[in-house]
A and B are shown apart, each in its own frame.
Chain A
């Protein structure tokens, strides 16, 4: 059974640019959630996708957007990057909404 995978591992972008992060969910999971983890902090919920529809959103501006595909993989897009967007972005998949299994994360640095 393949776990949750994310790409890329690391990314460096300039303020104002746009970025796309990718996540492949664990086999059999139909729900994907995205979290932002700033340095030294706990993860903060961005949004969740269930069967290709957004199914809840945290306190993040609209420049954070996402997609889920028919194979349940997902993308997180961030437009107009700001310095404060520098963080570890974590993807988690689940099949029942309770137990979320996390990928290794993408480390985004905005300069």
Chain B
């Protein structure tokens, strides 16, 4: 079946520190991979995506590379800011070619707190 495993939080960093949040997945077929971010009291925002092996998704200084050999999609940022404090969710989509399903499977989320 399909599942996503994220590193346990919370993660606490000082401003300008390097961030890594680990994500591994189990999937049948060829999933697309996503990182979503959730700020307090809000819904989910798509942060970045990758649709095939070796693709690198990037946005707002965050990056993640789709590694099929290690079934991983780790999120990284070189220099975090206080405004990056949020919960980060790794997710995969099981949409097969020709299918309209595309349900998302989420990890449990990782709380990031950045101190000034």
Of the candidate stretches A12-20, A75-83, A94-102, the one touching chain B is A94-102
User: A111 on the interface (CB 8 Å rule)?
Assistant: no
- Find out whether the CB atom of B103 lies under 8 angstroms from the CB atom of A42: no
- State in angstroms the CA–CA spacing of A35 and B102 once bound together: 13
With A98-B93, A104-B42 given, is the CB distance from A42 to B107 under 8 Å?
A: yes
Given A41-B108, A41-B109, A43-B106, decide whether A101 and B46 contact each other with a Cβ distance below 8 A.
yes
Judge whether A97 and B95 touch: CB under 8 Å.
Answer: yes
Residues of A within 8 A of B106 (CB): 42-44
Indicate whether A45 sits within 8 Å of B105 (C-beta atoms), given known contacts A102-B45, A103-B43. Answer: yes
Query: B residues within 8 A CB of A48?
Result: 101-103
List residues of A whose CB falls within 8 A of some B CB: 4, 6, 31, 33, 35, 40-45, 48, 50, 55-56, 58, 90, 92, 94, 96-105
